[in-house]
Amino acid sequence: MTVRTDRRGFLGLAAAAGAALAVGFDAQGALAAGAADAPGAAFNPFVRIAPDGAVTVIAKHFEMGQGASTGLATLVAEELGADWAQMRVAFAPADPSRYANLLFGTQGTGGSTAMANSWLQYRKAGAAAREMIRRAAAARWGVDPAELDIVEGQVRGAGRSAGLGEFAADAAALTPPAEPALKPASAFRLIGAPDLRRLDGPSKTDGTAEFAMDVKVPGMVWAVILRPPRHGARLTGFDAAGAEAVRGFVDARALPNGAGVAVYARSTWAAIKAREAIEARWDEAEAETRSTDRMEAEHLALLDAPTYQARGEAAQAAAALSGAARVVEADMLLPHLAHAPMEPLNCVIEPLEDGVLIHDGCQFPGLTQPIVAAVLGLRPEQVRIRTVFAGGSFGRRANPTSDYHVEAALAFAALGGKTPVKLIWTREDDLAGGYYRPMAAHRVRVGLDADGRVVGWDHRIAAQSIMKGTAFESVTVHDGVDHSSVEGAADTPYAIPAMSVGLSDWTSPIPVLWWRSVGHSHTAFAMETALDMAAEAAGRDPLELRLELLSGESDDHRRLSGVLRLAAEKAGWGAPLAAGRGRGLAAHKSFGSYVATVVEVTARDGRVRIDRVVCAVDCGTAINPDIVRAQVEGAVGFGIGHAMRNRITFDNGAVEQTNFPDYEPLRMGDIGAIEVHVAPSEAPPSGIGEPGTPPAAPALANAIAAATGVRPLKLPITRAGLSFA
């Protein structure tokens, strides 16, 4: 899965014998086709069919493990009638005019939108190719196209059969259909098939999968950045004399924006050693100097008087609570968290005759291309991007500031702009380097009537805004409310009467960013913990209370209650458990999908073992059901692992965690078993990379409360005096 781009940023498509058929869309979104290798006909397609039968899908979404490349290939293969064995994937170059995410308007992956926005587009490209191959075959055989069908890569009919690639060259001369017919769901053979293997599977088991960390270009130097100890500090000077003794050290240069010192060397190791020997001086006048305790106190204080109203009216909620038979209330605190993708951030930037080429597991070319161009004084199209596999992201690689690309560009320019530079972050850089899931405080007060029914809900949130000050502000911030701070609470599907959601922004020089499931990563915890506490106070079954709030006719109610029932049934909800064991439940809608999770734990003397996790998911049509299950398994691990024991803390503004030993990741053996049940659906596909995360942490906390009577209200759960066996 590698792809070359030529000087104009078009895909380099190695010419096989005879012309290949390329099908894609023009800048207006109309289907376009041609011979892939014809001079002057260069355009960036979605699918390329070679005469030897290889069908290459050009993935406009990057692959961070979520399976999007396999998913996009599935859509094309389904409509084309290809055999799975003939499918290949290449990553698209930066070209937002062709490869925009249709939900964002620019090229990028995020918000669990890859399959949702591509669902019709990639099928259409496959269907157009099918139609053109069929017409080409019909012309060659002198039969009516209606007599021909394409199944498992073979054109069949009129008593004949041949591989579809044999007609690629002829088809390339035809005009694509304007609106090719798409298959009905009942005719799907590959979409929804349980046994398609991931196209990236083999290269990820023999070391050949290429990540940016593996890229080496001739003449390249390796670079690391010496960054300030506190976010917001600026470089005033440095002394690199100590680095001269490090074998392989090349040079050290101040980044022109004062963000740090770029240290260049002839190997990664030399760069790391040289950096240790450099002394830098910082101006800390604007730097963060608070400690975590104080940050938490400030967040809690902000809950007393929310600045913005995100839903309902505070007075109405207050009236409902004052008339309630009882009020359940809790303050909750959720910590700063790092994404810590397995592949530490890095990219390679090299000079071209008329610009630069960036090798990167690039999540958001639509941002990175213009931002790097501005830094280097180039036009956007002079910044080529070659996308390779990304070793995880969880949101970190999509950044409104394109932070690590900008660092690489500055380091490249500071060295003269002629030498290729590979920027590498170490794990220490990653944990201390910012762009965290913001700390969040929630205060929830739930009013119950004498029968234990919810009659009012006063919900207050304090968190640092992710979107304010970014290019996304105009679409995500309304009347001061950053939707990403309140999503999952202000728009909860539960039919909660007299609900008010207030918001206050906390501010800091610490950079924050979306982290797998964004605001849902904390709002779901608050909602599902509060519901559990309400059920407990009312002496009601937590499942039954939730179903009562989801008893309407709406799609949301039908689908969220559907996964709740499915998860409860599969988990044996309500079956008696031995002493010391407990079961917890949580459900949440995010990114258009619905997930319910049941966690079972055993607790003894303050030690908790997670025995089993059962999830039910409704994500619309499951294009690749096994990838859906894998994503939910991973999202559950991500949610539970951080909830168990992770937080980023600050001591007078300096990050205290240095490497995995003090940001201890989920490990093998931490979770006994995870079962994922996919609800059948013919709705269009919705998100799957993120929705498994939000309900995981509250389901665990609720299970712990059921088993021990200790209600975790501050994350990580180790703060409640518990440990994990």
Partner 1 sequence: MTIELTVNGRRRSVEADPDAPLLWVLRDELNLTGTKFGCGVAACGACTVHLDGEPVRACQTALADAAGAEIATIEGVSGKAAEAVRAAWRELDVAQCGYCQSGQIMSAVALLESNPAPDDAAIDAHMSGNVCRCATYPRIRAAIHRAARMMEG
User: Which spans of this chain sit near partner 1 (rule: CB under 8 A)?
Assistant: 63-67, 197-198, 200-211, 213-214, 216, 222, 247, 267-269, 272, 340-344, 389-392, 394, 426-427, 626-627, 630-631, 633-638, 641, 659-661, 665-671, 673-674
b/e per residue, 479-504, with b = 16+ CB within 10 A?
Answer: eebbbbbbbbbbebbbebebbbbbbb
Burial of 700: CB neighbours in 10 Å, binned 0-12, 13-18, 19+: buried
Q: Which does 321 bind (CB under 5 to 8 A by kind): partner 1, ligand FES, none?
A: none
Alpha carbon distance 605, 456 (integer Å):
37
Residue 117, classed as helix, strand or coil, is helix
- The values of phi and psi at residue 475, to 5°, are -95, -15
Binder of residue 198, out of partner 1, ligand FES, none (CB less than 5 to 8 A by kind): partner 1
How far, in Å, are 31, 136, 179, 589 from residue 126 at the CA level?
11, 15, 12, 31
Distance of alpha carbon 628 from alpha carbon 618, whole angstroms: 10
Residue 504 CA to residue 482 CA, distance in Å, equals 10
Q: Decide which of partner 1, ligand FES, none touches 201; Cβ closer than 5 to 8 Å per partner kind.
A: partner 1
- Minimum CB distance to ligand FES smaller for 342 or for 475: 342
Q: Is 591 left (phi over 0), alpha (psi -120 to 50) or beta?
A: left
Strand-strand pairing, 249-254 and 261-265 = antiparallel
Shortest Å, Cβ 659 to ligand FES: 9
Give the SS3 label for residue 543. Answer: helix
Between residues 241 and 342, which has the closer beta carbon with respect to ligand FES? Answer: 342
Closer CB to partner 1, residue 208 or residue 257? 208
Q: Which is nearer to ligand FES, 284 or 664 (CB)?
A: 664
Determine which residue in the list 181, 217, 301, 342 makes contact with ligand FES, applying CB under 6 A. Answer: 342
Q: 244 Cβ partners below 8 Å, 6+ apart? A: none
Sign of CA dihedral 547, 548, 549, 552: positive
Rounded CA separation 461/659 (Å): 30
CB closer to ligand FES out of 213 and 441: 213
Min separation Cβ 660 and partner 1, Å:
4
Contact 224, 240 (CB under 8 A): no
- Of the two residues 394 and 472, which places its CB atom closer to ligand FES in the complex? 394
Residues 368 and 339: beta-carbon distance below 8 Å: no
Nearer to partner 1, 579 or 668 (CB): 668
CB of 392 to ligand FES, least distance (A): 5
CA distance linking residue 556 with residue 124, whole number of Å:
29
Instruction: List binders of ligand FES among 390-409 (CB under 6 A).
Output: 392
* Residue 184 binds which of partner 1, ligand FES, none (CB < 5-8 A, kind-dependent): none
CA distances from 77 to 69, 81, 217, 630 (A): 12, 6, 35, 21
DSSP string, 255-299: -TTSS-EEEEESSHHHHHHHHHT-EEEEE-TTS----HHHHHHHH
Angle, vertex CA 610, rays to CA 608 and CA 616, nearest 5: 145
Shortest distance, position 280 Cβ to partner 1, whole Å: 21
Residue 267 interface partner, choices ligand FES, partner 1, none, CB cut-off 5-8 Å depending on type? partner 1
Of 200 and 296, CB closest to partner 1? 200
Closest to 71 in 3D by CA, of 716, 711, 685, 496: 685
Which residue lies nearest ligand FES, judged by its C-beta?
Answer: 342
Cβ closest to partner 1, residue 7 vs residue 247: 247
Binding partner of residue 636 among partner 1, ligand FES, none, CB cut-off 5 to 8 Å per kind: partner 1
Dihedral over alpha carbons 617, 620, 625, 627 (to 10 degrees):
-80
**C-alpha span between 671 and 644 (Å, rounded):** 11
> Which one, 491 or 633, has the nearer CB to ligand FES?
633
Q: How far is the CB of 200 from ligand FES (least distance, A)?
A: 11
Least CB distance to partner 1 at residue 319 (A): 45
Indicate which of partner 1, ligand FES, none lies near residue 257 (CB less than 5 to 8 Å, by partner kind): none
Q: Which does 340 bind (CB under 5 to 8 A by kind): ligand FES, partner 1, none?
A: partner 1
> Residue 105 binds what, of ligand FES, partner 1, none (CB under 5 to 8 Å, by partner type)?
none
Query: At 384, phi and psi to the nearest 5?
Result: -85, 150
Which of 107/393 has CB closer to ligand FES? 393
Nearest distance, CB of residue 582 and partner 1, angstroms: 21
Q: Among partner 1, ligand FES, none, what does residue 671 contact (CB within 5–8 Å per kind)?
A: partner 1
CB of 350: closest distance to partner 1 in angstroms? 17
Residue window 39-78: x/- pattern of binding to ligand FES, with contact defined by CB under 6 A:
--------------------------x-------------
Q: Indicate whether 181 belongs to the interface with ligand FES (CB under 6 A).
A: no
Binding mask 351-390 toward ligand FES (x if CB under 6 A, else -) reads: ----------------------------------------
- Helix ranges restricted to H, 81-157: 96-99, 114-141
Number of residues in contact with ligand FES under rule CB under 6 A:
3
Ramachandran region of residue 452, left (φ > 0), alpha (ψ -120 to 50) or beta? left
As measured in angstroms, the least distance from the Cβ of 212 to ligand FES is 15
Question: Could you tell which of partner 1, ligand FES, none binds residue 9, using a CB distance below 5 to 8 A set by kind?
Answer: none
Contact positions vs ligand FES (CB under 6 A):
65, 342, 392
